Amino acid sequence: MRKIVFFVHTTLDGFIANANDELWERFPWGEDEMAFTNDFLRYTDTWVLGRKMYEIIVPWWSAVAAGTPPEDASVITARDQEFADLLQGMTKVVISKTLGDAGGERIVINDNVGEALLSLKQQPGKDILLSCGPGLLAPLADQSWLIDQYMIVVHPAVLGTGKHLFGDLRRALPLQLLEAKVFPAGCVLLRYHPSS
């Protein structure tokens, strides 16, 4: 069975968005970090996202892949281009009550999210990447059989307020550390497996 791997960037104090519900400006993400991410993506072929993350992330990287990076893009490195190309090759699944399917561009899950993701896990293929906010993460994490790994990149930044990664969780989530990796830019990757 395929694994679902939850992957997220967070601040040291556990926030994934600022008080205005916008993605915060991340600490520099260098070549070593991008190389690790790209290597990880080679083991996945499906990307499940919440609607907000989908609307922010996918069009931006699609533009990079098409060779027309957005105006707010800094220098696009070869690793960035590789990342964008890898994302283009993935099946995009969006969890949303408002979006509809868009042909080959995306598949939308409107309800029964846990059942839909379990069905996805049972299909042949590589692992499944999951990116979502705390409102969606909480009910998925509540189903202990659903998320197989948590990959959390902790950035050396503190927001103080905002949207907390596990803010909506209503039960204990015991985890077993599988890997801890420190990157030159100062980020730390923590990879966990649910322990029960």
Asked if residue 71 is part of any domain, the answer here is yes
pLDDT at 102: 61
Asked if residue 143 is part of any domain, the answer here is yes
Looking up residue 115, the CATH number of its domain turns out to be 3.40.430
pLDDT at 26: 64
Question: The tokens of 110 are what?
Answer: 């409107």
Q: For residue 163, how many other CB atoms are within 10 A of its CB?
A: 21
- Domain of residue 64 covers 4-15+38-148+164-183
* pTM of the complete model beyond 0.85: yes
Least confident of 3-7, 83-87, 104-108, 132-136: 104-108
CB of 22 closer than 8 Å to CB of 166: no
In this predicted model, which residue has the larger pLDDT, 40 or 23? Answer: 40
Instruction: Give Dmax over CA atoms of the chain in angstroms.
Output: 45
Which range has the top average pLDDT, 4-8, 15-19, 78-82, 156-160?
4-8
Mean pLDDT of the chain, nearest integer: 88
Asked if residue 31 is part of any domain, the answer here is no
Asked if residue 63 is part of any domain, the answer here is yes
pLDDT at 94: 92
pLDDT at 179: 95
pLDDT-derived band at 39, boundaries 50, 70, 90: very high
SS3 162: coil
**142 pLDDT above the threshold of 70:** yes
CB of 52 closer than 8 Å to CB of 20: no
pLDDT at 172: 87
CB of 147 closer than 8 Å to CB of 8: no
pLDDT digits (tens, 9 = 90+) for 84-132: 999 999 999 999 888 766 656 688 888 888 899 999 999 999 999 999 8
The number of folded domains in the chain is 1
- pLDDT mean over 28-39: 86
Residue type, position 52, single letter: K
